[in-house]
A = this chain, B = another copy of it.
Amino acid sequence: MTIKAQFDHSNCADCPIRHRAVCARCDADELEALDAIKYYRSFEAGQTIIWSGDQMNFVGSVVSGIASLTQTMEDGRTQMVGLLLPSDFVGRPGRDVAPYDVQATTDVVMCCFRKKPFEELMDETPHIAHRLLQMTLDELDAAREWMLVLGRKTAREKIASLISIIARRDASIGQKGLSGQIVFDLPLTREAMADYLGLTLETVSRQISALKKDGLILLEGKRHVTIPDLGRLMEEAGDDSDGGFLV
């Protein structure tokens, strides 16, 4: 069930994702046009936002919270194929049917646009189309980065990769630095991590325990993580620790 949005963005100027979302490049006029076709929806953690195969009648941006794109095989095996953070875009202009399940991993607020008007708007305003192209290219890069993780990394490297990516994204959104300690909460269950990494949840649990034992991460409870040295963790992930690109 959709719960009530806990904040009212009557004004796009106040929007927390204003400068990163699909509308980032829009001028006042364009923003007004978008405003006319937008509405907010909220979802509780665990809810499915869109079912694979469903008719899509909106596209939109994640305003707050985390959602995931998931593919499922007939026999039930699942693979997460995308992690949607605030400002990420959901849906594809020009496509009617959703190819993946979209699920709210945490409580999620979305800024939705009715698809038809959005598509028309996109044809008229190059700023939107251009920004969407940029974001899609970024997602493609992230997907390809992830293919390397899925195809060639060991379980330990996969976990280290995931944790350092979450840490970097978190730091990037919160404008915190990457040097010194990084502290954050894992937004994913062990099972969701396993789905993302192509592992079982038991293996995820074991490898997290191992990283903890080796002092690469500190755990308080199940979810609260402190990274004493991100560089060391990224080495463990098999990345060159200079790789400074933030998704």
Contacts and interface: CB of A to CB of B under 8 A. Distances in A.
Q: Give the interface residue-count category, chain A.
A: 35 or more
Interface string A84-102: 0000000010100001100
B136 A73 contact: no
Contacts of A99: 141, 144
Contacts of A106: none
Contacts of A78: 152
Number of copies: 2
Nearest to A78: B152
A147 B92 contact: no
Interface string A111-125: 000000000000100
5 interchain residue pairs of minimum CB distance: A151-B198, A81-B144, A150-B150, A143-B143, A79-B148
7 contacts: A74-B240, A126-B126, A132-B133, A136-B140, A143-B143, A150-B198, A151-B198
